[in-house]
Amino acid sequence: MIIQSSQPETTLPYRVWMAIKDNPQCRLHSVARMLGMEPKAVSSVFSKLWQTGKILRTGDRSNYLYTVAPDASHPAKYGRGPYKTAEKCGVTCRLKFVKSTAGNTIFDECRQNWSGYQINKMLEGVRL
């Protein structure tokens, strides 16, 4: 006989957020262990919470420590919640801009930004 609970199960982002709130400065693996899950199963939730600014990440790669952001509200407790990425998080990259000439300049700009293209250009002189 299966017993139905009166309330639906809380969302995984909410459970992860509460585990980090109860145990500040914790690692992904320890939170996964607390929840009885594999680290791969919760890693995307950590990324989403970090991107939305609900948790803070400190430390070096593979040794990140997570804490709850002081001004953040908890994620949706039940159902799906709206997630908006925080303005402070983002990817920065260096782009090369190509002067506009006749022909396909968009292709040239993309091609010159490809790191493999640069390596290929260096190896052209070595190949027979």
36-73 pLDDT, tens per residue? 999 898 888 888 888 888 899 888 888 889 999 888 88
> What are the DSSP calls for 1-42, one per residue?
-PPPPSSPPPPHHHHHHHHHHHSSSB-HHHHHHHHT--HHHH
Q: Give the start-to-end residue ranges of the domains of the chain.
A: 12-68, 93-128
Give the model's pLDDT for residue 78.
Answer: 75
Look up the pTM and report it.
0.56
Is pLDDT above 80 for 85? no
Span 68-91, average pLDDT: 68
- Say if domain 12-68 classifies as CATH 3.30.1340.30: no
Contact 52, 84 (CB under 8 A): yes
85 or 18, which is more confident:
18
Number of CB atoms found within 10 A of residue 4's CB: 5
Task: Write out pLDDT tens, residues 9-40.
Answer: 788 888 898 999 998 899 999 999 998 999 89
More confidently predicted of 7 and 81: 81
Q: Taking 80 as the threshold, does the pLDDT of residue 84 lie above it?
A: no
